[in-house]
């Protein structure tokens, strides 16, 4: 896909992998809508960094648990930037959901942001992409979808659901739209990892380190810019940890 003067929406683009992805897409000439919720200040900082690439950016706040706010955000992006050519579903809630403290409302929040919001965004944006004849959707997943933490069952299950949704949308939106996933390994150590667990994780990762945000951004850019015959796939960016 030729990316100059195309438009991308990256959810949770204020910091972390979302910021790295947004900057990488802006660097190759894309205008970028920067979704945020509680990180508007960080999203504005990302927008200021994007200015160096002489492309447009738009800070687009919305609570992804609220479908009406999603619709309002999309209408604003359409008006201010134009139709979306690339959607990156990066936003996620990562909260503990232990067996001993089962809270249905926490499960609901996790699934609303991690599954339902990407479904809504992919449905609305994907249909417009299909009608225009081209588009890319990238879902940011997690290798814990296949190797879950016992302490974060809801998060891991939500990522497994999104991985399945990636394949469903790839079939439904073909041949015009490619839908793929990127599944990172650990980039930031979870609070519950002990020092011994951290050492063990790195020792059992063939490439001998944790991931970096740029590793994810590079893979997203490949799927957006270079891949013309890849859809319904999940690329693991984990240094071989899942082998």
Return the active site residues: 155
Nearest to 28 by CA among 46, 9, 55: 55
Q: Compute φ and ψ for 38, nearest 5 degrees.
A: -95, 5
CA-to-CA separations, 97 to 72, 102, 146, 168, 187, in angstroms, rounded: 31, 6, 17, 27, 21
Nearest to 125 by CA among 68, 69, 67, 78: 78
Q: Are strands 177-184 and 234-237 parallel, antiparallel or unpaired?
A: parallel
Nearest to 170 by CA among 144, 142, 141, 139: 139
Nearest to 123 by CA among 92, 168, 161, 163: 168
């Amino acid at each position: 896909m030729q990316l100059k003067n195309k438009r991308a929406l990256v959810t949770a683009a204020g910091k972390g992998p979302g910021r790295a992805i947004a900057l990488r897409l802006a660097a190759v000439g894309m205008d970028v809508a920067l979704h945020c919720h509680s990180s508007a200040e960080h999203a504005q900082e990302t927008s200021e960094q994007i200015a160096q690439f002489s492309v447009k950016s738009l800070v687009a706040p919305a609570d992804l648990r609220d479908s009406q706010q999603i619709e309002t955000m999309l209408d604003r992006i359409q008006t201010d930037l134009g139709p979306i050519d690339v959607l990156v579903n990066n936003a996620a809630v990562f909260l503990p959901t232990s067996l001993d403290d089962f809270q249905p409302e926490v499960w609901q929040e996790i699934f609303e942001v991690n599954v339902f919001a990407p479904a809504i965004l992919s449905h609305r944006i994907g249909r417009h992409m299909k009608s225009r004849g081209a588009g890319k959707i990238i879902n940011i997943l997690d290798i814990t979808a296949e190797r879950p933490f016992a302490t974060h069952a809801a998060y891991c299950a939500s990522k497994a659901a999104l991985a399945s949704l990636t394949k469903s949308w790839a079939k439904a939106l073909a041949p015009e739209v490619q839908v793929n996933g990127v599944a990172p390994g650990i980039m930031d150590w979870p609070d519950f990892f002990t020092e011994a667990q951290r050492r063990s994780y790195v020792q059992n990762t063939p490439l001998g380190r944790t991931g970096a945000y740029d590793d994810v951004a590079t893979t997203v850019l490949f799927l957006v810019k270079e891949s013309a015959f890849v859809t319904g796939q999940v690329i693991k960016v984990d240094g071989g940890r899942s082998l």
